[in-house]
Chain A
Amino acid sequence: MDFNTTDEQTMLRDTVSRYLADTYSFDARMKTVHSGAGWNPAVWKAFAEELGILGAPFAEAHGGLGGGAIENMIVMEEFGRALVIEPYLPTVVIAGGALKATGGALADAVIPEIIAGNAIIAFAYAEPQGRYNLADLRTTAKKDGGGYVLNGHKSVVYSAPYATHLLVTARTGGSQRETAGVSLFLIPADTKGVVRRDYPTVDGSAASEIYFENAAIGADMLIGAEGEAFALVEQIVDEATAAVCAEACGVTRVLHATTLDYAKQRKQFGKAIGEFQVIQHRLVDMFMEVEQAVSITLMATLKLDTAERAQAVSAAKSKVGKACKFTGQNAVQIHGGIGISNELAVGHYFKRSTMIESQFGSVDHHLRRYERISIG
Chain B
Amino acid sequence: MDLNFSAEDVAFRDEVRSFIKDSYPASLNGKIDEGEELSKEDFLSWHKVLAKKGWIAPAWPTQYGGTGWTSVQRYIWSEETARADAVRLMPFGLSMVGPVIYTFGTPEQKERFLPGILSGDVWWCQGYSEPGAGSDLANLRTKAERFTGDDGKEYYRVNGQKTWTTMAQHADWGFFLVRTDATVKAQEGISFLLIDMKSPGITVRPIITLGGEHEVNEVWLEDVIVPVDQRIHEENKGWTCAKFLLAHERTGIAGVASSKRGVERIKNIARAELDEGEALLANPFFKRKIAELEVDLSALEFTELRTLAGESSGKGPGPESSLLKIKGTEIQQRITELALEAAGHYGAPYYRGFGEGDNEHPIGPDYSHRTAPTYFNMRKTSIYGGSNEIQRNIIAKMVLGL
Interface residue ranges, A against B (CB under 8 Å): 1-5, 70, 260, 263-264, 274-275, 277, 280-281, 283-285, 287-288, 291-296, 298-299, 302-303, 306, 312, 315, 318-319, 367, 370-371, 374-375
Contact call B296/A319, Cβ cutoff below 8 A:
yes
* Interfacial chain B residues near A303, Cβ < 8 Å: 3
Return the chain B residue nearest A293 by Cβ.
Answer: B299
Bound CA–CA A3/B2 (angstroms): 7
Chain A min CB distance to B328 (Å)? 11
B267 within 8 A of A: yes
Contact call B327/A292, Cβ cutoff below 8 A:
yes
Bound CA–CA A295/B1 (angstroms): 13
Q: Which of A284, A295, A371 lies at the interface centre, i.e. has the most chain B CB atoms within 10 A of its CB?
A: A284
Q: Which of A3, A264, A274, A295 lies at the interface centre, i.e. has the most chain B CB atoms within 10 A of its CB?
A: A3
Contact A295 to B302, CB < 8 A, known contacts A1-B2, A367-B288: yes
Bound CA–CA A134/B302 (angstroms): 29
Return the chain A residue nearest B389 by Cβ.
Answer: A281
Q: Does more than half of chain B's interface fall in helix, strand or loop, or is it mixed?
A: helix
Contact call B395/A284, Cβ cutoff below 8 A:
yes
Bound CA–CA A367/B293 (angstroms): 11
Contact A274 to B402, CB < 8 A, known contacts A291-B323, A292-B296, A318-B295: yes
Return the chain B residue nearest A308 by Cβ.
Answer: B3
**How many chain-B residues does the 8 Å CB contact rule pick out?**
42
Contact A264 to B395, CB < 8 A, known contacts A4-B313, A5-B1, A315-B295: no
Contact call A280/B327, Cβ cutoff below 8 A:
no
* Interfacial chain B residues near A367, Cβ < 8 Å: 288, 291-292, 295
* Interfacial chain A residues near B320, Cβ < 8 Å: 291
* Interfacial chain B residues near A4, Cβ < 8 Å: 1, 309, 313
Bound CA–CA A370/B9 (angstroms): 29
Q: Which of B281, B295, B392 lies at the interface centre, i.e. has the most chain A CB atoms within 10 A of its CB?
A: B295
Chain B min CB distance to A214 (Å)? 43
* Interfacial chain A residues near B267, Cβ < 8 Å: 375
B396 within 8 A of A: yes
B393 within 8 A of A: yes
Chain B min CB distance to A374 (Å)? 6
Return the chain B residue nearest A301 by Cβ.
Answer: B1
Bound CA–CA A298/B1 (angstroms): 10
Contact call B302/A296, Cβ cutoff below 8 A:
yes
B400 within 8 A of A: yes
Bound CA–CA A299/B299 (angstroms): 8
* Interfacial chain B residues near A275, Cβ < 8 Å: 402
